[in-house]
Amino acid sequence: MTYRINEIFETLQGEGTFTGVPSIFIRLQGCPVGCPWCDTQHTWEINSADEVSVARMMDKSEASPHWATMSSDDIVELIKQRGYRAKHVVITGGEPAMYDLRALGEALEAQGMRLQIETSGTYELLITPATWVTVSPKLDMPGGYLVRSDCLSRADEIKHPVAMQKHVDALDQLLKGQRLNADVVICLQPISQRPRATELAMKVCIERNWRLSVQMHKYLNIE
């Protein structure tokens, strides 16, 4: 099994339950969902002309659609060579659930690492049992994909972007009648740090005992 890797880097997780936790991010190439506010639109398309060597992919100084093909063993070895110390690994994209992530998950867990996947919930999850699943449901996006019930029922965390009350209402409608994990964490995340969106998210989180996700990495200006 090989993966199209847009970038691998070590930083702090800036969103959701693990905010502030040192993390290794593995960003996969490809996503057809088409969220208008997406801040990684360079990961959407998979073009053979954008394939580069692992060395060139790792040396990128700015966001680009260039990706490299790597196996699970390649990724583990790169993490060792780079001397990354974080034990929390975030598999993101793009849409990482486009890939079968079981081999990668098993290889990383064998190194004592904890995995988190950040997904739109629009693809079947092929992951290890121990993987922490963050579903950020994308509703009525241009790609036309539906959020899967099996993804929601597997979610450890549901992290929903909001700007207006209609986004909260859409989440309510999505979760209506849905079987969720008893201890699932529900986070509201203001889109683009807009003040009105933040005020709304804070209000709803307090009312419902949900959690606010403020994208700390953008306030700190880190990747």
- Binding site, annotated residues: 12-14, 27, 31, 35, 37-40, 92, 94, 136-138
Annotated binding site for [4Fe-4S] cluster: 31, 35, 38
Burial (CB count within 10 angstroms: exposed 0-12, middle 13-18, buried 19+), residue 49: exposed
Alpha-carbon gap, residue 58 to 146, rounded angstroms? 33
- What is the distance of C-alpha 5 from the center of its chain? 14
Annotated binding site for Mg(2+): 40
b/e string for 200-215 if b means 16 or more Cβ within 10 A?
bbeebbeeeebbebbb
- What is the distance of C-alpha 36 from the center of its chain? 16
Return the CA Rg of the chain.
Answer: 17
Asked whether the bond before 105 is cis by omega within 30 degrees of 0, the reply is no
Annotated binding site for S-adenosyl-L-methionine: 37-39, 94, 136-138
Q: Give the dihedral of Cα atoms 214, 216, 221, 223; nearest 10 deg.
A: -110
Q: Pinpoint the alpha helices (H) of the chain.
A: 54-58, 72-82, 102-109, 149-154, 165-175, 195-208, 216-220
Annotated binding site for substrate: 12-14, 27, 92
